[in-house]
A and B are shown apart, each in its own frame.
Chain A
Amino acid sequence: MSARMLFRGGRVVDPSQKLDAVHDVLLVDGKVAQVGKDLAAPEDARVVECAGLVVTPGLIDVHVHLREPGGEHKETIASGARAAAAGGFTAVCAMPNTDPPIDDPAAVGFVAAEGRRAGAARVYPVGCISAGRKGERLALVGEMVEAGAVAITDDGSPVMNSGLMRLALLYAQAFDIPVADHPEDLGLSGKGHMNAGLVATRLGLPGKPNAAEDIHIVRDLLLAELTGGHIHLQHVSTSFGVESIRQAKARGVRVSAEATPHHLILTEEAVEGYRTEAKMNPPLRTAADRDAVRAGLADGTLDTLATDHAPHHYDEKEAAFTDAPNGIVGLETALGLVLTHVVGEGVIDLSSMVERMSCTPARTFRLRGGSLAPGSAGDVTVFDPEAAWTVDPARFHSRSRNTPFGGWKLKGVVRWTVVRGKVVFEG
């Protein structure tokens, strides 16, 4: 492995430096050394010809489920880190809703160590907000941060107790980490299995109304305002939710928020025929909601693109709809979906895409990367924006195949994923 690497002649898109030009990028000793035109290749450098390709700061997904420990039949930290690299991600944040949950420093250390051992995308552990994810009392937040946790969340479940959420938003400020929440009022969403809309009424499936998400988003925004803490709202799917976040940002509330590729592209109609591969939480909603999520992504209200990569074994999804678990895999389809159906349909431009998939996530979660400015981490993604491919779940690096996008024809193929100056995926 060469200590020096030169990406030559690619279109370098790095909003952190307001850069979008054909440039060279030189990595030395795992860091960005130089960005500019016609850089001379050091003698021992590996030269990567990037003509016609796009070179960006490594993509970062702040919301993935790697299932280890406890769900290794769905995914492991190693397989998830490889799937991330194959999808062009140089770093992922692993959600703590494992079995047992990641709620103490030893568990955080395990995730970090397994991530390093995988030698693919960086794996940043996220710890639980509450001990045991029970929603009762704070987990060992400070010690988890010392062990490497970059945020806290009880994702998979919302924090229903507003008093606990208030404490979390206060306490986390001592460590300068975001508190991420899965916004859902369980009393309202109850036994729902899809969006509470016309499709649910026709199919005879119990629904989750938008209000279940909206109420919780508004509550979290009020608590962030009350405490001055940083709330990170996960997978926003509703029109009112987007508007509430927009208004809160205008008031100066410290809020960051995610949009997922599936909520940007699909609607509740994808569930027709009881397709369990389109079952996720929050559910796919109406076209009006999807358009609002798109508008939120476009104006920066939703500042982060995250996949909510949620692997499940095919046996688990091969079931009656109400018996199947929520979630879809996302790491290996995200870039193609976003390039084809979000950038390709004019929702955002390429630069904004890099902002939402790299720069902002790095800033929000205080991670390395997110920039190709000299001195930054040598985390780089290189992709061919025009190359076409067809999604074939059988070829995923992930252990799971649960995607509603199988067979979709997409544009955008990852050529190199580079972490700390080292190639972790070559496509």
Chain B
Amino acid sequence: MNQTAPALGKDLVGLEPLSREQILAILDTAEPFKEISERRIKKVPVLRGKTIVNLFFEASTRTRVSFEFAENRLSADTVNIAAAQSSVSKGETLVDTARNLEAMRIDMVVMRHGSSGAARFLAERIPSNVINAGDGSHEHPTQGLLDMLTIRDHLGRIEGLKVCIVGDVLHSRVARSNIFGLLKLGAQVAVCGPPTLVPRNVRSLGVEVFTRVEDAIQWADVLNILRLQLERMEAGYVPSLREYNRIWGISRARLERAPRDILVLHPGPMNRGVEIDSDVADGPQSVILNQVTNGVAVRMAVLYLLAGGQPERAEAAKQGGEA
């Protein structure tokens, strides 16, 4: 990679537009950043003087806090805006919100929004770096990256692994980012869920489709279990949460029939007893909390790279060098 070319573009809108090399650069850059969170004093000056706005139009605890920790540990100045308390609730349009923030001379925006394409919309209209923290049913790239980092940590590789995403693929931005990212890194990808929640043409993206979760378990090395939102049941996609658990829920008993140990991921927050049983969530194959830990490192890596940092200089940057 060219020493001076930015490792990423201006924005991180999704994993679909990224190359295999760019994704690997983010994962590799995350490695040295993991250590910062283990220090007694969890702060390095990598983003000193940078102003970052965390703009959350949808409620989020995990992702927002993870970004905040990543920003704070890199010494950025941050402002959090939640839709309910912002001028959005007074009818301001997304483009006006963006322009107003820009007028205050910020450097980066981390945005979560309920509409697919909102991150790209913002990225095309402001010069600041935009990081997509989830846009509608489109992508949640940092989640996809932290999932891949966690898989690589535990299994040593991504290439050649069989990863099955289980649940509401239709509405899931986590599913799309995983599909795009994992395929680029050479994994085999499958999806499994109720046919009402799996797009019929998803095969055209290059993934396999299982309807029966038992078949997925026979096939997979890794299960990434999606949260089933209560509103999907209310909208009639599945008749009841209990039935969903009986037919697609991941239980210890089901996992024990697998021909090999399966690594279990979940992007959270979990509905215990719906898509995942507690004996799996708390069991030895679960790496769900490792995902959370890795989330901070991956987000630090993304912030560092978008600020112009070079992957191979990450270690030096931590010691006090500029990004």
A residues near B (Cβ < 8 Å) are: 197-198, 201-206, 273-274, 315, 318-323
Bound-state Cα–Cα, A209 to B182, Å: 29
Cβ–Cβ contact A198 & B201, under 8 A: yes
Please determine whether A274 and B176 come into contact, CB atoms closer than 8 angstroms: no
A273 touches B116 (CB 8 A): no
Q: Select B121's contact among A197, A201, A320, beta carbons within 8 Å.
A: A320
Contact B16 A320 (CB under 8 A): no
Also in contact, A320 and B205, with CB within 8 A (given A204-B136, A315-B93): no
Which of B93, B115, B205 is the one whose CB lies under 8 Å from A202?
B205
Residue B61, interface by CB 8 Å: no
How far is it, in angstroms, between the C-alpha of A186 and the C-alpha of B131 when the chains are bound?
35
Please tell me if B202 contacts chain A, counting CB pairs below 8 Å. Answer: yes
Chain B residues whose C-beta falls within 8 Å of the C-beta of A204 in the assembled complex: 116, 135-139, 173, 176
B94 close to chain A: CB less than 8 A: yes
Mark out the residues of chain B between 120 and 152 whose CB falls within 8 Å of any chain A CB in the assembled complex: 120-121, 135-139
Q: Is the C-beta of B320 less than 8 angstroms from some C-beta in chain A?
A: no
Q: CA–CA, A321 to B202, complex, Å?
A: 21
CB distance from A80 to the nearest CB of B (A): 26
Q: Which residues of A contact B113 (CB under 8 A)?
A: 320
Q: Taking the nearest CB of chain A, how far is it from the CB of B70, in angstroms?
A: 24
Contact of A203 with B138 in the complex, beta carbons under 8 Å: yes
Q: List 27 A-B contacts (CB under 8 A).
A: A197-B201, A198-B204, A201-B201, A202-B176, A203-B117, A203-B138, A204-B116, A204-B136, A205-B116, A205-B137, A205-B138, A273-B120, A274-B116, A274-B117, A315-B93, A318-B95, A319-B93, A319-B94, A319-B95, A320-B94, A320-B113, A320-B116, A320-B117, A320-B121, A321-B121, A322-B116, A323-B115
CB distance from B30 to the nearest CB of A (A): 25
A404 to chain B, nearest CB (A): 16
Q: How far is the CA of A408 from the CA of B93 in the complex (A)?
A: 30
For window 152-210 of chain B, which residues contact chain A by CB distance below 8 Å? 173, 176, 199, 201-202, 204-205
Q: How far is A206 from B171 in the complex, measured between Cα atoms in Å?
A: 9
Complex CA–CA separation, A96 to B264 (angstroms): 56
Q: Give the shortest distance, in Å, between B122 (CB) and chain A (any CB).
A: 9
Q: Is B8 engaged at the interface, CB distance under 8 Å to the other chain? A: no
In whole Å, how far is B57's beta carbon from the nearest beta carbon of chain A? 10
Residues from chain A with a CB closer than 8 A to the CB of B263 are: none
**Does chain A have a CB within 8 A of B228?**
no
Q: Closest Cβ of chain A: how far from B110's Cβ, in Å?
A: 17
- B222 near A: Cβ within 8 Å? no
CB-contacts of B100-122 with A (<8 A): 113, 115-118, 120-121
Most chain A beta-carbon contacts within 10 A, residue among B94, B116, B120: B116
Measured CB to CB, the closest approach of chain B to A350, in angstroms, equals 39
Q: Which residues of A contact B116 (CB under 8 A)?
A: 203-205, 274, 320-322
CA distance A45 to B205 in the complex (A): 66
- Which of A201, A319, A320 is within 8 Å of B199, CB to CB? A201
Residues of B within 8 Å of A323, CB to CB, are 94, 115
Do residues A205 and B201 form an inter-chain contact, with CB atoms below 8 A? no
Q: Would you list which residues of chain B between 259 and 274 have a CB under 8 Å from chain A? A: none
